[in-house]
Amino acid sequence: MKSKETPNDYGLSIWGGNNFTIEGGKVCVNSGARPAILDIVNEIRTDGYRGPLLLRFPHLVKKQINKLYRAFSASKKEYKYGGRFQAVFPLKVNQFPSFLKILIEEGKEYGYGLEAGSKAELIIAMAYNREDAPITVNGFKDEEMISLGFIAKEMGHDITLTIEGLGELDAILDMQKKTGDPMPDIGIRIRLHTAGIGIWGKSGGINAKFGLTSAELMRAVQLLKKFGQIDKLTMIHFHIGSQMEDIAPLKRALREAGNIYAELRKMGAVNLRAINLGGGLAVEYSQDAQSKSASYSLQEVANDVVFLLKSICENKGVEEPDIFTESGRLVAASHAVLVAPVLELFTQEYTEKALNLKEKGNPPLVSELYDLYRTINEKNAAEYLHDSLDHMESLLTLFDLGYIDLQDRSNTEVLTHLIIRKALDSAAHLSERDRLQQRIQEKYLVNFSLFQSMPDYWGLGQEFPIMPLDRLDKKPGRSASLWDITCDSDGEITFKTKRPLFLHDVDLNERNYFLAFFLVGAYQEALGMRHNLFSHPTEAVVEIDDDGYYIRDLKPSASLLDILDDIDYDITDVQKQLKKRIERSELIPEEKRQDVLAELYLYLSENGYLKTTRLV
């Protein structure tokens, strides 16, 4: 077992993309002065912040943007491709203001645009998108949303409304006719024959939720011509799903889209000049080489896209289109790291100290267990282990039948646990290793909410890389499952024998132990739920240069009052009720009421995560 021989690197070389390194046993950001994440976390905690922390690294957004543009730029050069490459960021992947500010700043040199899928997202784009950068609008639209599109156009935005159905086109053309206002550009989402793949695959295929069929496409061209607006049709769009494992469906979709593009041009769409590939490029989340997520590189995608479009256009004798992408996950996932403190190790009490053998009168099987524990070694490990598991079964039955007492049962549990651990430590090749690891797994209680911070784990079983921030020079010996602090039994990251997580045995009275969850920058914040009313964690932006790191835009997690306000409680009334009840209470002496109230109000102004760490 790998975990036996080497200090664990938690698959960093697989999912890490060189963004982090391990130095002196700590995870460090692999940039500039290479600060340890633990130092950043400790600095923020010095100011009194507790609970989970979401750290954003702007240089990692920049890195992804550069990668995307460089890949397409290289392919365009190689194939002498005439069209431009242009990326826009789909807001649904992360609309949080601190992230958006980073994206817009880091995307400046490329004129990186935004994609909006709802009115609220469109407003964000209209307010913050750089004026030299495009906005694309997908999703179903009513008149009001279309009207927003016209206003954006009048504000000077380069905006393309992608229609999802003919009704939307009718509404747009009607509005233009009525108002005489300048038309936004029109994009058309095409319904592909090609089905998407993966858990998100419903975005593609003939029964997809979105897009126009061939017949509708022809009708759209007719309509646009009839209204004298065919020159406004500039883009066709498709999106085949997220986290594509394989590039084949994208290539099939491109062949379809490329030919549709060429046909529409021939039908008189004179200004049709862009194909928008949507998103879908995968992120490597896997911590183990056997279960890697994606089988392609970004350069391969760019080469395929450019080459395919080039050859279709040559064949059909049309100009090469601009290539738009709406990659979300690929751009945003790596920038955010969630750090959460471990609050408790639940089975830590199974130590020799917990053993409480009777002076005399231990049941014979308990005494035997104790002998097995003392004498188990590498040679006899398998045999002794099996004997002890047998004894344990018998002893538990004896307890159920009333023959042994609770103290005996406790000794049984502790001894069995100790024997399993000793067997695992001494014999590397036990056949039932996995099952045993599962059996003695430690439950780590972690100060975060899975529903708020990693909803895709709960909803889709999406795993995120997990590792401790320090002690990485020591072999982690405990098979771990993680519990969040919600009262929901689903709030658990279970131990998986196929992809085991091992953590360290730490005495939380002596040291803090922090876990980091990586690649949480895409979708998780946007989808995060307020289960049990846990709110978005405290967040901070961390800039890194050769001298060190700088923390900016620190935003504390919402206070209890803000959380209640957010779900429409009248917070003045909440405070009034609390005050009334304290003033009426017969259990609180009159002279103390003011203090109790002050203490209560203090709590109301703080966030809902737990503060208990035994260390200050």
Ligand X SMILES: *Cc1c(COP(=O)(O)O)cnc(C)c1O
Q: Shortest Cβ distance from residue 243 to ligand X (Å)?
A: 6
Q: Shortest Cβ distance from residue 599 to ligand X (Å)?
A: 45
**Span of 90-98, 386-394, 443-451, 545-553 interacting with ligand X by CB under 6 A:** 90-98
Question: Residue 115 or residue 320: which is nearer to ligand X going by CB?
Answer: 115
Q: Give the phi and the psi of residue 201 in degrees, each rounded to 5.
A: -65, -10
Q: Binding residue for ligand X (CB under 6 A) from 187, 280, 491, 500?
A: 280
Is 434 buried (19+), middle (13-18) or exposed (0-12) by CB count in 10 A? middle
Q: Shortest Cβ distance from residue 56 to ligand X (Å)?
A: 18
Rg (CA), the chain: 30
Q: Please count the residues of this chain forming the interface with ligand X, following the rule CB under 6 A.
A: 16
Using CB under 6 A, which residues numbered 316 to 375 contact ligand X? 326-330
Site string for ligand X, 103-142 (x = CB under 6 A): ------------x----------------------x----
Pair of tokens at residue 298? 């970004």
User: Is 211:138 a contact under the CB 8 Å cutoff?
Assistant: no
Query: Regarding beta strands 85-90 and 548-555, do their DSSP bridges make them parallel or antiparallel, or are they unpaired?
Result: unpaired
Q: Report the SS3 class of residue 339.
A: strand
Q: Binding residue for ligand X (CB under 6 A) from 36, 114, 197, 281?
A: 281
Q: Report the SS3 class of residue 28.
A: strand
Question: Residue 465 or residue 521: which is nearer to ligand X going by CB?
Answer: 521
State the residue number with the nearest CB to ligand X: 279
Q: Shortest Cβ distance from residue 384 to ligand X (Å)?
A: 52
**Span of 168-176, 219-227, 274-282, 293-301 interacting with ligand X by CB under 6 A:** 274-282
| C-beta atoms surrounding 87 within 10 Å | 23
Q: Shortest Cβ distance from residue 190 to ligand X (Å)?
A: 12
DSSP letter assigned to residue 88: E
Q: Binding residue for ligand X (CB under 6 A) from 107, 279, 500, 521?
A: 279
Q: Binding residue for ligand X (CB under 6 A) from 14, 93, 172, 343?
A: 93
Pair of tokens at residue 49? 């912040």
Q: Shortest Cβ distance from residue 212 to ligand X (Å)?
A: 14
Using CB under 6 A, which residues numbered 589 to 608 contact ligand X? none
Q: Shortest Cβ distance from residue 335 to ligand X (Å)?
A: 13
**Span of 69-77, 151-159, 273-281, 478-486 interacting with ligand X by CB under 6 A:** 273-281
Question: Residue 257 or residue 281: which is nearer to ligand X going by CB?
Answer: 281
Q: Report the SS3 class of residue 332.
A: helix
Sign of CA dihedral 211, 215, 221, 224: negative
CA distance 55 to 45: 13
Helix (H) / strand (E) containing 597: helix 590-604
HSE at residue 194, side-chain half, CA atoms within 13 A, is 18
Q: Shortest Cβ distance from residue 336 to ligand X (Å)?
A: 14
CA distance 403 to 363: 9
Q: Shortest Cβ distance from residue 340 to ligand X (Å)?
A: 25
Question: Residue 198 or residue 491: which is nearer to ligand X going by CB?
Answer: 198
CA distance 41 to 365: 49
Query: Considering the rule CB under 6 A, would residue 191 count as an interface residue with ligand X?
Result: no
Question: Residue 513 or residue 523: which is nearer to ligand X going by CB?
Answer: 523
The helix, strand and coil proportions of the chain, stated in percent and rounded to the nearest 5, come to 45, 15, 40
**Span of 79-87, 88-96, 143-151, 454-462 interacting with ligand X by CB under 6 A:** 88-96
User: Is 84:319 a contact under the CB 8 Å cutoff?
Assistant: no
Q: Give the phi and the psi of residue 166 in degrees, each rounded to 5.
A: -65, -30
Q: Shortest Cβ distance from residue 95 to ligand X (Å)?
A: 12
- Among left, alpha and beta (phi > 0; psi -120 to 50; other), residue 308 is alpha
Query: Considering the rule CB under 6 A, would residue 92 count as an interface residue with ligand X?
Result: yes
Site string for ligand X, 221-260 (x = CB under 6 A): ------------------x--x------------------
Question: Residue 87 or residue 503: which is nearer to ligand X going by CB?
Answer: 87
Instruction: Output the CA–CA distances (angstroms, integers) from residue 42 to 277, 327, 444, 485, 513, in the order listed.
Output: 43, 34, 20, 21, 11
Q: Binding residue for ligand X (CB under 6 A) from 17, 90, 196, 201?
A: 90
Query: Considering the rule CB under 6 A, would residue 478 count as an interface residue with ligand X?
Result: no
Q: What is the maximum span of the chain, computed from C-alpha positions, in angstroms?
A: 100
- Among left, alpha and beta (phi > 0; psi -120 to 50; other), residue 128 is alpha
Interacting residues toward ligand X by CB under 6 A: 90, 92-93, 115, 138, 239, 242, 278-281, 326-330
